[in-house]
């Protein structure tokens, strides 16, 4: 009986453990929101530090940060602990600092009593919810806060990019339009993921153009291509962008305001990225917003591809949608050899 009793306890423990691991719900919050929990005393220092870590900006045409920092106090931690992007931080180490008192509750003794030689940052994935990046910053002072800054910045951004990919994949591609993707493969010899709810606006084999879009907010992706390698010269790449954009988007102008052209690898293929601002030349309805284009060469099919992405969301967030469009763009399969 004792053996059976112990065996039953073991089985019950395993069931409870497995259930607790699988019962975590998906994390809360928007992809571009970072919840920061710290004391009012520490906020100026922490804000300056994190603003240096998350310093990417997209012009939409107004400058818009890729991430928004939202500060809360330690007594809000319980309500925030299941958010996707959560940072708990303290710099002034004394018990009058509510942020430091919270860290003492969250960290084991050997971690909250760290030394100046220790990295002040601890990072944990999926601690309170699925697809969560949970960061603790436990610094002795401002100098200690800046220790290993470059390494920590690189690590944080890598985890946040992976986080964005995981959440975006679950949201956009849960139920893709498989039949439309098969048509692309059959008609064009390449395909791209078509999210549920997106509308095919144009699919023209003769013009070598595919265009799809979604509403509220408005988002568009176009793909056009030509044979041969046309990306070795920067001037030629610029001409590809301006000529194809003018040819395929007759009612849209691409401004040289904040226009940037940089050499990149797109899905490990040599290419270029163009970013800037677009506007409508339709006198009846003025529109505009950010665009991001990718021009790359696939040697197996001997084709140069141009993927253009645009967002129209007046007065509201655009940066996160531009990032979503980039994620869709990178789902392209340019050949099937």
Q: Degrees (nearest 5) of the Cα angle 135, 136, 137? A: 120
Rg (CA), the chain: 24
pLDDT band at 22 (very low <50, low <70, confident <90, very high): low
Q: Which two tokens stand for residue 144?
A: 């200690």
Residue predicted with more confidence, 7 or 330: 330
As a whole number, mean pLDDT of residues 3-20 equals 44
C-alpha 309 chain-centroid distance: 15
> Is residue 107 packed enough to be buried (19+ CB in 10 Å), middle (13-18) or exposed (0-12)?
middle
Q: Residue 91 in contact with residue 46, Cβ under 8 Å? A: yes
Rounded to whole angstroms, the Cα distance separating 126 from 107 reads 16
Q: Residue 42 in contact with residue 140, Cβ under 8 Å? A: no
Distances (CA, A) of 34 to 106, 150, 335: 19, 19, 38
Rounded to whole angstroms, the Cα distance separating 115 from 25 reads 35
CA dihedral 168, 175, 203, 234 (to 10 degrees): 20
Q: 10 Å Cβ neighbour count for 96?
A: 9
CA dihedral 153, 162, 55, 40 (to 10 degrees): -70
pLDDT band at 337 (very low <50, low <70, confident <90, very high): low
Q: In the prediction, which pLDDT does 89 show? A: 97
Residue predicted with more confidence, 184 or 336: 184
Q: In the prediction, which pLDDT does 16 show? A: 40
Does residue 77 surpass a pLDDT of 80?
Answer: yes
Topology of domain 24-171, CATH? Chitobiase; domain 2 (3.30.379)
As a whole number, mean pLDDT of residues 231-259 equals 81
Rounded to whole angstroms, the Cα distance separating 99 from 115 reads 18
Rounded to whole angstroms, the Cα distance separating 111 from 103 reads 9
For a pLDDT cut of 90, what percent of the chain falls above it? Answer: 62
What digits encode the pLDDT tens for the residues 286-324?
788 899 999 999 999 999 999 999 999 988 889 889 999
Q: Hey, is 328 helix, strand or coil?
A: helix
Does residue 123 surpass a pLDDT of 90?
Answer: yes
Residue predicted with more confidence, 169 or 195: 195
As a whole number, mean pLDDT of residues 255-275 equals 91
Peptide bond before residue 61 is cis, with ω within 30 degrees of 0: yes
Q: In the prediction, which pLDDT does 93 show? A: 85
Handedness of CA 270, 276, 282, 286 (dihedral sign): positive
What are the residue ranges spanned by the domains of the chain?
24-171, 176-329
DSSP codes of every residue in 132-189: -EEEEEE-SSHHHHTTTHHHHHHHHHHHHHHHHHHHHHHHHSSS--HHHHHHHHHHHS
Does residue 6 surpass a pLDDT of 80?
Answer: no
Helix (H) or strand (E) holding 236: helix 234-248
Rounded to whole angstroms, the Cα distance separating 268 from 293 reads 16
Does residue 121 surpass a pLDDT of 90?
Answer: yes
Does residue 114 surpass a pLDDT of 50?
Answer: yes
Q: In the prediction, which pLDDT does 52 show? A: 95
pLDDT band at 214 (very low <50, low <70, confident <90, very high): very high
Q: Residue 196 in contact with residue 175, Cβ under 8 Å? A: yes
Does residue 228 surpass a pLDDT of 90?
Answer: yes
Pairs from 314-318 (Cβ < 8 Å, separation ≥ 24): 314/287, 314/289, 316/217, 317/30, 317/32, 317/64, 318/58, 318/60, 318/64, 318/217, 318/289, 318/290
What digits encode the pLDDT tens for the residues 83-113?
999 999 999 888 899 999 999 999 998 888 8
Q: Residue 201 in contact with residue 213, Cβ under 8 Å? A: yes
Residue that has been written with the tokens 């849960």 in this structure: 174
Mean model confidence pLDDT for the chain: 88
Q: In the prediction, which pLDDT does 258 show? A: 82
Q: In the prediction, which pLDDT does 254 show? A: 83
311: which residues sit within 8 A by CB, 6+ positions away?
60, 217, 218, 219, 289, 290, 291, 318, 321, 322, 325
- Please, what CATH class does the domain formed by 176-329 belong to? mainly beta
């Amino acid at each position: 009986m004792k053996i059976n009793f112990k065996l039953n306890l073991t089985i019950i423990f395993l069931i409870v453990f497995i259930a607790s691991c699988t019962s975590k719900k998906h994390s809360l919050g928007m992809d571009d929101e970072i919840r920061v929990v710290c004391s009012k005393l520490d906020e100026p220092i922490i804000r300056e530090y994190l603003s240096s870590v998350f310093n990417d900006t997209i012009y939409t045409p107004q400058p818009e940060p890729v991430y928004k920092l939202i500060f809360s106090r330690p007594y809000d931690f319980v309500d925030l602990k299941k958010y996707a992007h959560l940072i708990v931080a303290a710099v002034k180490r004394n018990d009058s600092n509510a942020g430091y008192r919270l860290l003492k509750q969250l960290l084991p003794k050997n971690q909250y009593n760290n030394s100046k030689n220790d990295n002040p940052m601890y990072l944990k994935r999926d601690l309170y919810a699925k697809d969560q990046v949970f960061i603790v910053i436990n610094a002795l002072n401002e100098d200690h806060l800046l220790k290993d800054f470059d390494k920590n910045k690189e690590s944080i951004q890598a985890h946040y990019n992976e986080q964005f990919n995981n959440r975006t994949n679950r949201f956009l591609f849960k139920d893709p339009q498989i039949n439309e993707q098969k048509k692309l493969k059959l008609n064009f010899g390449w395909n791209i993921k078509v999210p549920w709810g997106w509308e095919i606006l144009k699919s023209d084999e003769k013009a070598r153009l595919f265009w799809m879009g979604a509403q509220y907010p408005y988002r568009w992706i176009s793909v056009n291509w030509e044979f041969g390698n046309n990306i070795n010269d920067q001037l030629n790449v610029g001409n590809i962008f301006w000529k194809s954009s003018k040819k395929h988007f007759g009612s849209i102008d691409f401004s040289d305001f904040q226009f940037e052209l940089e050499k990149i690898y797109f899905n490990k293929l040599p290419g270029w990225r163009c970013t800037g601002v677009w506007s409508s030349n339709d006198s009846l309805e003025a529109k505009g917003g950010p665009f991001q284009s990718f021009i790359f060469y696939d040697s197996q099919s001997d084709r140069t591809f141009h993927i253009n992405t645009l967002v129209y969301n007046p007065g509201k967030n655009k940066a996160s949608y531009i990032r979503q469009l980039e994620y869709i763009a990178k789902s392209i399969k340019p050949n099937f050899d």
